[in-house]
A and B are shown apart, each in its own frame.
Chain A
Amino acid sequence: SAVISQKPSRDICQRGTSLTIQCQVDSQVTMMFWYRQQPGQSLTLIATANQGSEATYESGFVIDKFPISRPNLTFSTLTVSNMSPEDSSIYLCSLRTGIGTEAFFGQGTRLTVV
């Protein structure tokens, strides 16, 4: 299976600032996604990162708050903008190799906003 490298692994940020999380895959993949896992909660899909076009956001998530880039089939970034303490979560990059197949996850980014 593909190797997913996500960074940073953790960060502590001041409210009002932005953080960009990077996700690098060692092979080309069609489907990449970003999830959020709030403390003690399960995974919530933020958006599908579409190569060469705007991301597809789930209900409750907007591009201004979570801009996503996907310049090619091996790389994506998620930015958490104008952060507040409520954004403190683990953010996970995910990929799937085909329609209806399982998801694989990066190591996650543990974000704390103070």
Chain B
Amino acid sequence: GQQVMQIPQYQHVQEGEDFTTYCNSSTTLSNIQWYKQRPGGHPVFLIQLVKSGEVKKQKRLTFQFGEAKKNSSLHITATQTTDVGTYFCAIKAAGNKLTFGGGTRVLVKP
């Protein structure tokens, strides 16, 4: 079935630095969603991207959908300890079900 790859699998970031995590698909996507899961918590919806080249911002988080709608990125500026967690992208496969990527686990060094 349709799959999505996330890189990197782990991201160790110094507090205050920026980082980017990527989500790649081999097929063109109708849309892509991003979720965040804090340690011990549950996935929480962050945002959905639909249009080619779309860029959306949530405070220090910037989400982008690729022009070919095959990839997406999440960029976090001035990382804080509250950014710790696993960030998942998710794509809609046949039948309206979501397929989640493997996630990028973010650890912040104070």
Please say whether chains A and B are actual partners in one complex.
no
Q: Residues of B with Cβ closer than 8 Å to A? A: none
- Report which A residues bind B (CB closer than 8 A): none
